[in-house]
């Protein structure tokens, strides 16, 4: 089920879903969950999942889809902006993020649906915040899986991950006429 104010899964969603490496019983955080396609997949693989979205319609969709599939007991659903409702110290094994990554003009888009792709002027506003904060919510040795477009400076994201103590790499890329999508995997370095 997808509400008309929720991003419908597309190439970026499927790129993530098809390339996730999850271990059963892992604690997984699915940020920007949308309709819950990734959260559902993780729960079906036996993971303990927290699905987060800022969009109230997305939160409804995730709850409804989890319920329809008999996974409601495996997926906690929260409405929040990135990590705003999390206390520091709550950590996950894996954080998955399909961020808004398209560059937009100074004119802010109005509806909930548009927030799914509005990455700000550079396309990096939400991505930069995420990379700055994710380390505090990921266990040492944990992993991030994130999709990003060539339109929003992937090399800058890789550099920012390295500066924050991660070992990032590009797992997969998909070429389109107007952009290339990248699936980034970043492992948090173990503390000595």
Report whether 99 contacts 130 (CB < 8 A): yes
Q: What is the pLDDT of residue 2?
A: 74
Q: What is the pLDDT of residue 5?
A: 66
Half-sphere exposure (Cβ direction) of 163: Cα atoms closer than 13 Å: 10
Q: What is the pLDDT of residue 190?
A: 77
Average pLDDT, the chain: 88
Tens digit of pLDDT for each residue in 65-74? Answer: 999 999 999 9
Cα 29–chain centre separation: 8
26 vs 10 pLDDT, higher one: 26
Report whether 37 contacts 13 (CB < 8 A): yes
Dihedrals φ, ψ of 134, to 5°?
Answer: -60, -35
**pTM (2 decimals)?**
0.89
102 vs 182 pLDDT, higher one: 182
Tens digit of pLDDT for each residue in 46-56? Answer: 999 999 999 99
Domain ranges of the chain: 11-188
At residue 171, does pLDDT exceed 60?
A: yes
Tens digit of pLDDT for each residue in 134-166? Answer: 999 999 999 999 999 898 899 999 999 999 999
**CA pair distance 190, 111, nearest whole angstrom:** 41
Q: What is the pLDDT of residue 3?
A: 63
Give the orientation angle of helix 56-68 with respect to helix 37-44, to 10 degrees. Answer: 30
Instruction: Tell me the CATH class for 11-188.
Output: alpha beta
């Amino acid at each position: 089920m997808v509400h008309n104010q929720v991003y419908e899964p597309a190439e970026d969603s499927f790129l993530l879903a098809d390339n996730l490496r999850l271990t059963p019983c892992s604690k997984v955080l699915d940020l920007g969950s949308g309709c819950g396609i990734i959260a559902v997949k993780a729960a079906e693989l036996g993971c303990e999942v927290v699905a987060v979205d800022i969009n109230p319609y997305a939160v409804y969709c995730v709850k409804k889809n989890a319920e329809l599939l008999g996974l409601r007991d495996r997926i906690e659903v929260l409405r929040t902006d990135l990590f705003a409702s999390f206390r520091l110290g709550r950590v996950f094994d894996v954080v998955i993020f399909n961020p808004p990554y398209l560059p937009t003009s100074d004119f802010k888009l109005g509806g909930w649906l548009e927030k799914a792709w509005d990455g700000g002027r550079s396309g990096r506003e939400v991505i930069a915040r995420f990379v700055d904060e994710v380390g505090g919510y990921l266990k040492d040795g944990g992993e991030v899986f994130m999709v990003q477009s060539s339109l929003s400076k992937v090399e800058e994201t890789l550099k920012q991950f390295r500066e924050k103590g991660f070992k990032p790499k590009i797992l997969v890329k998909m070429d389109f006429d107007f952009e290339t999508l990248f699936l980034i995997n970043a492992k948090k370095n173990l503390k000595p």
